[in-house]
Amino acid sequence: MAKYIVTSDRFANCKRGDILDGDDLDAAGVNVDVLIDSGHISTYAPKKPAKTKDTETDKD
């Protein structure tokens, strides 16, 4: 299921940074490709958090 992040201030009823579901956009009848090309949304791909090492407990 694709997710998108709002990247403009003009997207209806949303603010910049909101995450949208692709299925909801399809159901609303909007054209996702055009929204991406026009800079209103972009594909949202959250990165996994980097692994951290607990240096305190590793001490001898």
Partner 1 sequence: MATTVYLSNPALTINAVNLTDQATSAVLSYVYEQLETTAFGDTARKFGGSAVTSLQNNTFEVTLYQSYAASETEATIYGLVGIQTTITVSPTAAGLVTPSATEPKYTLTGCYLESHTPINASLGELSTITLTFAGGALTKAVA
Quick one: CA dihedral 35, 30, 16, 22, positive or negative?
negative
Residues 32, 25 contacting (CB under 8 angstroms): yes
Place of tokens 């607990």: 54
Closest CB to partner 1 among residues 40, 53: 40
Closest CB to partner 1 among residues 13, 55: 13
- Chain positions 2 to 41 lying near partner 1, rule: CB under 8 A, are 7-13, 25, 28-31, 33-35, 37-40
Chain residues binding partner 1 by CB under 8 A are 7-13, 25, 28-31, 33-35, 37-40
